[in-house]
């Protein structure tokens, strides 16, 4: 999490809150603005080329939102959830996921998860979740939810949309990935990423990743990558760690400059990593050494959210500007050429691609 994310993503009271996010065309920069936002409630068909932009809003203001951008017709719906439900989502939208045709919107400071259909109409709500961060379905019936204030991970029953247990940890839990009936769960307040057996819901191992481990992905070779923000107070730099999902103690790592980074992402073919560390960095998983290079320099922008579209390789980056006005979204091709720019909601922190 970037230092400025400390205020927004660490509930987004944090981001170490965290805890930081390329297309094929060879052409010069073009700033194509999307068509005006749709004002009336809409019924968008279940297209395959929608991009959902999750906007945190301002902490304590209850103004989080989801922007829907349709890449087929270049149309932007500014507050898609409100358009479909005639009400606001809540305070601080942290993350979202889609599973079995349902959207799960994790609203951090409202301590709830909104369950919606494919048109984002609300069908259920799970509350009392102690500042939830991310949701990871681990079977058709069960999901894990990382949390900020509960010293563990909630276990949810997806059939009843209710909490049915928890897995204890020391401190807050953050991003998670799934491989071979194992969930790899980051723990930013400590130095380790934990391995949980999803059949027994028991912690069975851990991997040292350094302080502030928050972002995590799996590449095409079944390697797990964890981006750790480091510890500025104790002069411990950021770190990028790689280990096998089947042989976790054979890990390699490299230190990074600066302390506030995150939003580790992997492209469609899962062979290239992107992340934020003020600028947008890129790394091929086949590099002999872990040595990320700058993909897009931030310049005067305050890059805050990052995503890579699996449909066309394009890289989406949000600029939070002053953290109080609507974010600017920039879309880059695989060479780092800007292809589009448009506005989304306040503090756009992540992207979901259909």
How many Å apart are CA 246 and CA 304, to the nearest integer? 32
Question: Is 254 within 8 Å of 270 (Cβ atoms)?
Answer: no
Reply yes or no on whether the pLDDT at 28 is more than 70.
no
28 — phi, psi (to 5°)? Answer: -85, 170
Please check whether residue 7 lies inside any domain of the structure. Answer: no
Please check whether residue 12 lies inside any domain of the structure. Answer: no
- For 74-88, letters b (16+ CB in 10 Å) and e give ebbbbbbbbbbbeeb
Helix (H) or strand (E) holding 137: strand 132-137
CATH at residue 128: 2.130.10.10
Output the average pLDDT for the chain: 87
pLDDT band at residue 259 under the 50/70/90 scheme = low
Please check whether residue 14 lies inside any domain of the structure. Answer: no
Nearest to 225 by CA among 182, 186, 258, 180: 186
Q: How many residues does the chain have?
A: 354
Tens digits of per-residue pLDDT, 102-139? 999 999 999 999 999 999 999 999 999 999 999 999 99
Tens digits of per-residue pLDDT, 171-212? 999 999 999 999 999 999 999 999 999 999 999 999 999 999
DSSP string covering 241-305? EEEESSSTTS-EEEEESSS--EEEEE-TTS-EEEEEESEEEEEETT-SS---EEEE--TT--EEE
How many Å apart are CA 342 and CA 190, to the nearest integer? 38
Please check whether residue 317 lies inside any domain of the structure. Answer: yes
**What is the span of the domain harbouring residue 223?**
20-353
Reply yes or no on whether the pLDDT at 43 is more than 80.
no
Range of lowest pLDDT (11-25, 35-49, 246-260)? 11-25
* Share in percent of the chain as helix, strand, coil (round to 5): 5, 50, 50
Please check whether residue 13 lies inside any domain of the structure. Answer: no
Number of Cα atoms under 13 Å in the Cβ half of residue 2: 23
pLDDT band at residue 81 under the 50/70/90 scheme = very high
Question: Is 348 within 8 Å of 320 (Cβ atoms)?
Answer: yes
Tens digits of per-residue pLDDT, 269-280? 999 999 998 999
Please check whether residue 54 lies inside any domain of the structure. Answer: yes
Please check whether residue 1 lies inside any domain of the structure. Answer: no
Nearest to 127 by CA among 146, 111, 142: 111
Q: Where are the alpha helices (DSSP H) in the chain?
A: 5-8, 80-85
Question: Is 64 within 8 Å of 79 (Cβ atoms)?
Answer: no
Cβ neighbors of 57 (< 8 A, separation 6 or more) are 63, 64, 65, 91, 92, 93, 345, 346, 347
Reply yes or no on whether the pLDDT at 91 is more than 60.
yes
318 — phi, psi (to 5°)? Answer: -105, 145
Nearest to 263 by CA among 274, 253, 250, 249: 274
Reply yes or no on whether the pLDDT at 150 is more than 70.
yes
pTM (global) more than 0.75:
yes
Please check whether residue 305 lies inside any domain of the structure. Answer: yes
Q: How many domains does the chain have?
A: 1
């Amino acid at each position: 999490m970037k230092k400025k994310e400390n205020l927004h993503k660490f509930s987004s009271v944090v981001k170490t809150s965290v805890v930081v996010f390329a297309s094929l065309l060879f052409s010069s920069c073009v700033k194509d603005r999307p068509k005006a936002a749709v004002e009336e409630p809409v019924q968008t068909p279940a297209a395959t080329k929608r991009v959902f932009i999750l906007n945190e809003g301002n902490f304590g203001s209850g103004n989080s939102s989801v922007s829907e951008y349709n890449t087929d017709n270049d149309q932007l719906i500014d507050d898609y959830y409100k358009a479909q439900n005639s009400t606001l989502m809540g305070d601080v939208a942290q993350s979202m996921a889609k599973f079995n045709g349902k959207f799960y919107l994790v609203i951090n400071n409202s301590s709830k998860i909104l369950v919606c259909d494919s048109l984002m109409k609300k069908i259920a709500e799970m509350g009392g979740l102690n500042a939830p961060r991310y949701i990871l379905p681990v079977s058709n019936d069960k999901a894990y939810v990382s949390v900020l204030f509960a010293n563990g991970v909630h276990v949810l029953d997806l059939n009843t949309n209710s909490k049915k247990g928890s897995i204890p940890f020391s401190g807050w839990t953050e991003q998670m990935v799934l491989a071979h009936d194992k969930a790899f769960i980051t723990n930013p307040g400590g130095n380790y990423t934990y391995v949980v057996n999803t059949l027994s819901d028991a912690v069975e191992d851990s991997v040292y990743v350094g302080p502030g481990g928050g972002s995590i992905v799996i590449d095409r070779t079944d390697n797990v990558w964890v981006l750790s923000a480091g510890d500025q107070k104790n002069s411990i730099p950021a770190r990028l760690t790689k280990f096998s999902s089947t042989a976790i103690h054979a890990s390699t790592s490299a230190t990074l400059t600066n302390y506030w980074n995150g939003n580790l992402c992997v492209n469609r073919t899962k062979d290239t990593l992107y992340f934020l560390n003020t600028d947008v960095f890129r790394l091929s998983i086949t590099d002999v050494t872990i040595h990320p290079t700058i993909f897009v320099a931030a310049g005067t922008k305050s890059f805050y959210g990052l995503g890579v579209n699996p449909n066309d390789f394009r890289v989406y980056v949000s600029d939070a500007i002053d953290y109080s006005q609507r974010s600017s979204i920039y879309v880059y091709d695989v060479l780092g050429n800007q292809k589009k720019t448009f506005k989304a909601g306040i503090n756009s922190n992540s992207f979901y691609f259909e």
